[in-house]
Structure 1
């Protein structure tokens, strides 16, 4: 990837890249470490997201939040993510474009063959760096769930898991929910 410094004439490469990814024809895309990644999910991936959303819907409603997959900008980096699921305060969603990970209460990614290494390593590091308080990794390849908490510049300092599918995973405050991973 060409770094922003390699462009002349005052072009802001980060801004140009993020502008372009928001205008991808035919669907959604994200930028991971400067590479545009078109998003295309299989039905099993969609089903897993729906199971998660259904289990979090009561807590999201109680917390006056929205559970969805809106855009997350990581300012100062060549990253623009579309998480599989994020829970964000409803007040931040009205008229909003992209939010930043620190505005979420939880971000979840469902790892599949095409995204596993990115979800396990890159996104985990970046979500922590940008302050997402909770990162839930549902790893369909490993058939496990891991909850990362207490973000910092060097990553998450608290890890709960990996737990095999079928284990009940407790989501801490403000959720205070037992996540049934049996149906994932």
Structure 2
């Protein structure tokens, strides 16, 4: 009898959804792999706070923000759906997307997802980028603390973004509509 190299999709998803992680930790299911991450540190949270403050202050469109809200996204292979928890997501306030009590939401209507690298930076650089593109999230902002860069990924097609704009910390990044302002990256280190 041949063994399946990976658990069946249903068993994997059921096991993932039944996980009980310690307080502050978060579990994600990305392309058939369960990833458990420790709580973020102060510099990580500081970078998120700086971005949120700028968006709320400078965006001509009124935005809602949710930190650590789970997203159900299309998979690239071994599991039926990815269950990802970005550091932050923005959506136009008039859509009222964050009112639902569900732990995981669909990405429709989201304008921007934000990740700040931490214990597994390649996960944010590659796997999550592909998840967000497959979910057709228009903009993905990656703050890479290890490389000291900020990258804005735009124009999702298939499982990747067709455009990106990157700069070192301190170089401003233009956020397109509905944000339509220049993001200061000086304090993101």
Q: Structure 2 length as normaliser, TM-score?
A: 0.81
Question: Which residue does the alignment assign to 1:9?
Answer: none
Contact map agreement 1:53 1:67 (CA 8 A) in 2: no
Q: Say yes or no: does 1:81 pair with 2:84.
A: yes
One of 110, 114, 131 as aligned partner of 1:108:
114
Instruction: Return the offset for 1:111.
Output: 1.3
Q: Is the contact between residue 29 and residue 39 of structure 1 (CA under 8 Å) also seen in structure 2?
A: no
Residues in 1 aligned to 2:73 and 2:170: alpha-carbon distance in whole angstroms: 33
Query: RMSD over aligned Cα, in angstroms?
Result: 2.3
- Within the candidate set 21, 24, 27, 1:24 is matched to 21
* Structure 1 runs (4+) greater than 6 angstroms displaced: none
Post-superposition Cα deviations, 1:139-162, rounded to whole Å, max 9, x if no partner, equal: 11111111001101141011112x
Aligned-residue offset at 1:19: 1.9
- 1:68 is the counterpart of 2:67: yes
Task: Tell me: higher relative CO, structure 1 or 2? Use CA pairs within 8 A at least 6 residues apart.
Answer: 2
TM-score, normalising length: structure 1 = 0.83
Distance change >3 Å, CA 60–CA 88, structure 1 → 2: farther
Q: Which sections of structure 2, spanning at least 5 residues, go unmatched?
A: none
Alignment of 1:1-184 (within 5 A): 2-4=6-8, 12-21=10-19, 23-27=20-24, 28-33=26-31, 34-58=33-57, 62-75=61-74, 77-90=80-93, 91-97=96-102, 98-112=104-118, 114-161=119-166, 163-184=167-188
Number of residues paired by the alignment?
175
Do 1:31 and 1:79's aligned partners in 2 also have CA atoms closer than 8 Å?
Answer: yes
Unaligned runs of 5+ in 1: 6-11
Deviation at 1:78, TM superposition (A): 5.0
Contact 1:128 1:151 in 2 (8 A): yes
